[in-house]
Structure 1
């Protein structure tokens, strides 16, 4: 059943860290273009008008067969406060960029830590830019409208992080969508990998439990902010949860039940993709190996900061988005 395959594929995309997602073939196409940056791979590199860049004696050219889709898991209850200017419209707590090759029909997931440090653009309530402050990439979402504008701003920052690589499309899903998806499929069974009883007493190490929507939200959202790498731990739980959800979805054979699930989630999503564009994803083979933006976690001013290793990230960008000449 093609509809079912589409759902499984999109779930596989998001399982790298998105807090919530299932299939989206019934999503209504929404207009809007994510922010795009026109910068080259790096100002230190020699770039000519043909889009050729040089790095370590090798020449590369942008691969025009590559397109990207940014998947975001959004916590609408989270706020941001940078430069004494609060952002009230949530945070993108998980970010996964699907890199697709339209000719080869292959795809790769690039996982981005929500704590990656970038320059955050701060706007007032009327949309006027006030200033730029150093902050976690997850915070940029808060300074939009909580829907299309927030997605566009976040997509623009992902583009900046990746040296100007275009983010062609986006799709966000809220935590409420996660709860709805979990309850709709009758719960998700997981085996708890570590002791997370601080989050919920039932999350004992080695315990096999079936999560309802309420518990699922705790499992993929909560973390101990006193632990420096707690976001990495949470991302691992998110991945585990989504894999279990994919398996549960594979067991749904009733087309009516499957399409009903799509419809139930529509209100929790924001996207500039049409249903037809999402349907095309069923034709792609997604790599099981997930690429992560490289870096290290430090603690500063009481907050975790993920400092991106730009030298290693540049290699990843050249490998994913460029052709060697």
Structure 2
């Protein structure tokens, strides 16, 4: 009996030692993994910090702290009251314009971004869970949100990725019928028609100086010749022109006196994360007549237009737009 008891005690000792070793090994592995994770997080933070500085072709650049971006979206589904449906049905960002502001110099310039730009589109289900990512036109990303803030955020993030990680803190989305309302609210938008667009409306003759009321403004920014592969290029130019002219019109004394009233009228048509005061401050900026575009080319894919930015030229373009060279 004693011998059997001693044998049982040995087994117990071995079991205890075994469990202790397993726990010791587990603790060691856990410590190593956590240390590695901490190290990776620190490296990630260091990388984020290093992004403030870029070295290119032997020259060092620093992000310009005076540059601020606002993403303007024109949505092709009428009125936000109709939005909020299933993912993929919430409209598309028909017009995508990035307003690049210099807060020190109080100047601004528009960068057109083609709706046909091919990017990885994140597709979501009805529960809001991402189910896959596939290449598609940038305009489609808006459709896979909620038709409101999430759609704007998803589109904004894709534009940030497209432009190599630049930060775009603000967005302003306006539905198509909102463009008409905006034109009427500011008393019309004066423009000079740059080309012959009489196929859109008889009033749009080349060189004509006209004031766009609501219905004319919508026809001017929405219409395109669907028979032409690159017809969106002309439409983008018109959309940027109207947005630019609208900001100029906002600087007039008559409009400035009724900002609050105009803002209230526009509420049913817009989605933005900007305060009224922030929007009002845009009247302080001088907006350049020159409209920027990304370098690249339009190709035909499955009967549709596909715009591909030229990588090296786009990198250099963003470097010049957002960074400033550090003198050695």
**What TM-score results when the alignment is normalised by the length of structure 1?**
0.73
Q: What does residue range 244-255 of structure 1 map to in structure 2 within 5 Å?
A: 245=246, 253=254
Deviation readout 1:96-125 (Å, 9 max, x if unpaired): 222233344443322211111111111111
2:38 matched residue in structure 1: none
Query: CA offset at residue 175 of structure 1?
Result: 1.0
| 3-state DSSP of counterpart to 1:141 | helix
Is residue 317 of structure 2 the alignment partner of residue 316 of structure 1?
yes
Structure (1 or 2) with the larger CA radius of gyration: 2
2:56 matched residue in structure 1: 55
- How far, CA to CA, are the matches of 1:132 and 1:200 in structure 2? 40
Distance change in 2, residues 1:98/1:48 (3 Å): closer
- How far, CA to CA, are the matches of 2:109 and 2:183 in structure 1? 26
- Listed as ranges, the gaps of 5+ residues in structure 1 are 1-46, 79-84
1:6 matched residue in structure 2: none
Q: What does residue range 1-325 of structure 1 map to in structure 2 within 5 Å?
A: 49-51=49-51, 52-76=53-77, 87-185=88-186, 187-188=188-189, 192-200=193-201, 203=204, 211-242=212-243, 245=246, 253=254, 257-325=258-326
| 3-state DSSP of counterpart to 1:226 | coil
Query: CA offset at residue 227 of structure 1?
Result: 0.3
> How many residues align structurally?
273
- How far, CA to CA, are the matches of 2:274 and 2:112 in structure 1? 20
Which segment drifts farther, 186-195 or 311-320?
Answer: 186-195
- How far, CA to CA, are the matches of 2:281 and 2:257 in structure 1? 21
Verify the 8 A CA contact 2:97 2:113 in the aligned structure 1. yes
| 3-state DSSP of counterpart to 2:127 | coil
Larger helix proportion of the pair: 2
Distance change in 2, residues 1:251/1:317 (3 Å): closer
- How far, CA to CA, are the matches of 1:100 and 1:273 in structure 2? 15
Verify the 8 A CA contact 2:251 2:283 in the aligned structure 1. no
Query: CA offset at residue 165 of structure 1?
Result: 0.8
Verify the 8 A CA contact 1:252 1:258 in the aligned structure 2. no
Query: CA offset at residue 141 of structure 1?
Result: 0.5
| 3-state DSSP of counterpart to 2:239 | helix
- How far, CA to CA, are the matches of 1:319 and 1:158 in structure 2? 17
Distance change in 2, residues 1:67/1:252 (3 Å): closer
| 3-state DSSP of counterpart to 2:179 | helix
